[in-house]
Structure 1
């Protein structure tokens, strides 16, 4: 970093600025981090980020092939989704991508006959969605409603052709509990203390991967055995307490001088203050049936099976919204009805699977942490 700053700042005067595009070549020649150097220059208020946003290239590619008028209208709608507008909040980037990808086949089809969105009628929308089924049909209708709703609001169309076209309800299948052997294979797959802690948090507290990544050291209260996940404070069970002690000991010995406030860190994030990546926290469970997400779902399903399929209880314990809590309760009720026909409810209880998890983690904790660092 020092060498990189010397090279970049040697010819620099007080009134000069440094453009992002100018630092790429010299830093690559020095094999120095472009991102880290840019952070330093930005903190000095002398960096000008002149990079072309990737969103522009993506948008141009997705709008290619549309009629000029339809292209202009679709671009205006998508930019409003991304950046917001009067009485319109910005949407998540994933939603911006998904909506345009969903309506693109319809827009390409209509571009062969029309020049503007105002020429599209209800029969055109019905003819297109008739070729779709299930989730794809519903996603396309939701995106088309967003597009034509924006167009009507801005005076581009006189009438919304998607009005009163029902998207239909999505029928969810019954959630199934994990089997003991699936949990055992995942326990055997994880090797690092961080992965084992993430496994315990998902299995015991139904924590999402994003919430685990966002955990900070201040969220852990070992003395009172309390843990705050996604803003909700809950008691800390023995398994989580043990895994936290193992991880904190490993973290302290491995990287004692890091200033990163997050609970989970790695070689890269120890040098900064951000969270670990989503890929890093999941990669040791790649290819397993009992992933972090499946373990989270299984924990919530187990709560409904053991304490009864009561949506209010699930919403209170895990902070679920109404529809999600009802879905878990419905799945638990269906499983309990099946168990009444084929065997006792205990056969599908998660207690045995938790024992597998605890036993597997405990048996392998000592040798791994005792290994040379």
Structure 2
């Protein structure tokens, strides 16, 4: 690695392309001075070697790592968050059950010869749902093959409603995989009916609940976030993942999760207000995500789900309820047609039918009340 790559002018160029301010550039230079002390050609600087040092001095780890990575001398040997979470969730299980549950969890995440990989959020849910049962069975047993049908029946007797449904679905996934992999002789969950989970009728938000959330949105970012949830039924993660390229102001279109939506007057105004604020607040940012903040303006990563939803936290009409309310409103206004809902919002069949069923029940209740 030639030393001219480390020159001040090169670092200034990198800082400018990333939109780093004076304070960040100063802190990164301090961090580089520390971690490059004693560096010789051919050395590799590892994450575990510098993380504690930089954190102790309150120096920016991610920005320093960006420079080291650009220089080609960085190796990320940090433990992925999934690995930390997995080790924590498997804690307390009998060794044999722990090993089998770990293999199943990895197959869920990575896929296998006869299974597609699941989303990481789904993997978390499944392991979290089977963990209480596995902890209970880890006292008398060492392996999944020792768990009997009676053990499963006795365990699910203590569960009700969606809790019983969700845990039994996850347990069936685990034992079906174990049987297919030759780890157990028979599946103890076979012929145990999961049953149809009865969802409650979705209820619309009251006008005063929505009004309080609108009053809580006091910045250009939060007003836009609220509109994306309440008008376009966008999920928190979808809002965080929006890019500047998803906007087509000239043709009044916005692409959310791959679906093109027309821009109404309100959302268009809030978008233009936010873009003007974004330009004046962070004129040199290199982050191409639509919504950025003080932390992400100097990076290229998206804002966290926590930051996106923070302004509505504590309100009755949080972003998720606003999203649900928008879809329910569509079903009530245009009729409980699941095909229409699936087309407008990109819903899967079951979800669209749930909204349609709720709208049908609410319309029936309203008609009955008028007759009285």
User: Could you tell me the TM-score, scaled by structure 1's length?
Assistant: 0.86
- Change beyond 3 A, Cα 1:250–1:80: same
Q: Secondary structure at the match of 2:231?
A: helix
Q: Distance in 2 between matches of 1:90 and 1:265?
A: 30
Q: Which residue does 2:149 correspond to in 1? A: 122
Q: Which residue does 2:199 correspond to in 1? A: 172
Deviations 1:12-68 (A, max 9, x none): 122101121221243235421112212222233322233344544544444344333
Q: Which residue does 1:321 correspond to in 2? A: 348
Choose from 79, 91, 114 the match for 2:106: 79
Query: Please, which runs of 5 or more residues in structure 1 have no aligned partner?
Result: 345-373
Give 1:63-102 correspondences, 5 Å limit: 63-102=90-129
Deviations 1:262-289 (A, max 9, x none): 1111111111122111111111111111
1:4 Cα offset (Å) = 1.4
Root-mean-square deviation (CA), in Å?
2.0
Choose from 189, 204, 210 the match for 2:216: 189
Q: Which residue does 2:69 correspond to in 1? A: 42
Choose from 35, 40, 52 the match for 1:8: 35
Task: Detail structure 1 runs of 4+ shifted over 6 Å in the superposition.
Answer: none
- Change beyond 3 A, Cα 1:201–1:99: closer
- Change beyond 3 A, Cα 1:285–1:105: closer
Q: Distance in 2 between matches of 1:130 and 1:79?
A: 29
Q: Which residue does 1:134 correspond to in 2? A: 161
Choose from 256, 266, 269 the match for 1:239: 266
Q: Quick check: 30-39 or 156-165, which moved more?
A: 30-39
- Change beyond 3 A, Cα 1:252–1:109: closer
1:96 Cα offset (Å) = 2.9
Choose from 15, 19, 23 the match for 2:50: 23
Q: Which residue does 1:305 correspond to in 2? A: 332
Q: Secondary structure at the match of 1:205?
A: coil
1:203 Cα offset (Å) = 1.7
Q: Which residue does 1:104 correspond to in 2? A: 131
Give 1:242-281 correspondences, 5 Å limit: 242-281=269-308
Deviations 1:123-154 (A, max 9, x none): 22112111211112112211211211121122
1:221 aligns with 2:248: yes
Q: Quick check: 202-211 or 110-119, which moved more?
A: 110-119
Choose from 202, 208, 226 the match for 2:229: 202
1:222 Cα offset (Å) = 1.6
1:320 Cα offset (Å) = 1.0
Q: Distance in 1 between matches of 2:36 and 2:92?
A: 46
Q: Secondary structure at the match of 2:255?
A: strand
1:167 Cα offset (Å) = 0.9
User: Could you tell me the TM-score, scaled by structure 2's length?
Assistant: 0.86
- Change beyond 3 A, Cα 1:51–1:263: closer
Q: Which residue does 2:9 correspond to in 1? A: none
Query: Please, which runs of 5 or more residues in structure 2 have no aligned partner?
Result: 1-27
- Change beyond 3 A, Cα 1:334–1:113: same
